[in-house]
Amino acid sequence: MTTTATAEPAPSAPAQIEWNLAEIYDSLDAWRTDKARLEKQVGGLSRFKGRLGESAAVLSEALDAISTTEKDLVRLYVFAFLEADEDRRVSEAQERRGAATLLLAAFEEATSFVSPELLRVGSATIEGYLDGEPRLARHAFNVRNILRKEPHTLSDEAEAIIAGTSAMRQGPERVFAMLTSSDMPFPTVTLSTGEEVRLDQAAYGKHRASRVRADRKLVFDAFWKTWKGYAATLGQTLDTHVKAHVFEARSRRYASALDAALAGPNIPEIVYRTLVASANRHLPSLHRYFRLRQRMLGLDELRYYDIYPSLVASERSFQLDEAKSIAVAAAEPLGDEYVALLREALAGDWMHVYPQEGKAPGAYMYGAVYDGHPYLLLNYNGEYDDVTTLVHEWGHAMHTVLAKQQNRYETAGYATFTAEVASITNEILLQEHLLSQDLSSRERLFYLGTALEAIRATFFRQVMFAEFELGMHELAEQGEALSGEKLTDRYEKLVRRYHGSDE
Residue-wise pLDDT tens digits, 140-178:
999 999 999 888 988 889 888 888 888 788 888 888 888
Instruction: Report yes or no: 181 and 282 within 8 Å, Cβ to Cβ.
Output: no
- Highest mean pLDDT out of 5-9, 122-126, 147-151, 499-503: 122-126
Q: Which residue has the higher pLDDT, 224 or 10?
A: 224
Q: Which residue has the higher pLDDT, 107 or 201?
A: 107
pLDDT of residue 193: 96
Asked if residue 3 has pLDDT above 50, the reply is no
Q: What phi and psi, each to the nearest 5 degrees, are found at residue 193? A: -80, -10
- What are the residues whose beta carbons fall under 8 Å from the beta carbon of 28, sequence distance 6 or more? 96
pLDDT for 106-128, tens place per residue?
Answer: 999 999 999 999 999 999 999 99
Lowest mean pLDDT among 3-17, 76-90, 346-360, 384-398: 3-17
Over residues 366-391, mean pLDDT: 96
Asked if residue 369 has pLDDT above 90, the reply is yes
Over residues 61-70, mean pLDDT: 98
Round to whole Å and give the CA distance between 320 and 354. Answer: 10
pLDDT of residue 171: 87
Average pLDDT of the chain is: 93
Instruction: Report yes or no: 41 and 61 within 8 Å, Cβ to Cβ.
Output: no
* 393 flagged as catalytic: yes
pLDDT of residue 502: 59
Q: Where are the alpha helices (DSSP H) in 45-90?
A: 56-86
SS3 content of the chain, % helix, strand, coil (to 5): 70, 5, 30
Residue 191 banded pLDDT, cuts 50, 70, 90: very high
- What are the residues whose beta carbons fall under 8 Å from the beta carbon of 370, sequence distance 6 or more? 71, 74, 75, 404, 409, 412
Candidate list 393, 410, 427, 477, residue with the active-site label: 393
- What are the residues whose beta carbons fall under 8 Å from the beta carbon of 239, sequence distance 6 or more? 476, 481, 482, 483
- Burial class (CB within 10 angstroms; exposed 0-12, middle 13-18, buried 19+) of 266: exposed
Round to whole Å and give the CA distance between 176 and 230. Answer: 11
Give the residue among 498, 486, 494 at the shortest CA–CA distance from 231.
Answer: 486
- Highest mean pLDDT out of 184-188, 262-266, 403-407: 403-407
Which structural domains are found in the chain, ordered by start?
12-169 (1.20.140.70), 173-184+230-309+440-499 (1.10.1370.20), 320-435 (no CATH)
pLDDT for 216-231, tens place per residue?
Answer: 999 999 999 999 999 9
pLDDT of residue 227: 92
* Cα angle for residues 70, 414, 113 (degrees, 5° grid): 40
**What pTM was computed for the model?**
0.83
pLDDT for 280-300, tens place per residue?
Answer: 999 999 999 999 999 999 999
Residue 14 banded pLDDT, cuts 50, 70, 90: very low
Q: Which residue has the higher pLDDT, 281 or 12?
A: 281
